Amino acid sequence: MRNFLKIFALFFLFILIACGGKKEEQAATDKPEMTGTPSDAFVVEVTGNDQMQFNVKTIEVPAGKKIRVNFKHVGQMPKETMGHNFIILKQDVDIAAFAARAMNAKETDYIPPADEQNIIAHTKLLGGGESTSIEFDAPPAGTYKFMCSFPGHYVMMQGDFIVK
């Protein structure tokens, strides 16, 4: 356990050094920018930055609608060192256990193939300046977790996806 804590501390020290002196690229807010009307897809704008942060901690969407998530990595670092993806997990999936399995799935953008049944939707892994979109039907009403599965990122890059 002590070795794990030392490695974890070194990892965050590396991140702080790598990002030192840079202005904050975005500030986390409670709610993402959302658009849509009752007759079309409900659009959510989500960003991730070089400081391992999503711009949102909570996303609320209506039940029974098509959801579109536009995801952009607003940082500058390449995906090999600061990649981000956006994953919405099914209810009751242990986020820490999922992240531990994801660490070994580099070849599939840190999406463990054996865990596909635990995922509602996910993006590909992005590097700085890249963006992508995903569309899916909103799951039943409830609270789900969203996260980035790049090794170590889920600790800071997670939130609640609430379907009302």
* Domains along the sequence of the chain with CATH: 28-163 (2.60.40.420)
Centroid of chain to Cα 125: 10
pTM for this structure?
A: 0.78
Question: Which pLDDT tens digit goes with each residue over 26-73?
Answer: 444 444 444 444 448 999 999 999 999 999 999 999 999 999 999 999
Q: What is the DSSP string of 93-145?
A: --HHHHHHHHTT-GGGTT--GGGGGGEEEEPPPB-TT-EEEEEEE--SSEEEE
How far is the C-alpha of 124 from the C-alpha of 48, rounded, in Å?
A: 13
How far is the C-alpha of 94 from the C-alpha of 98, rounded, in Å?
A: 6
pLDDT of residue 40: 86
Residue 106 has pLDDT above 80, yes or no: yes
Residue 1 has pLDDT above 90, yes or no: no
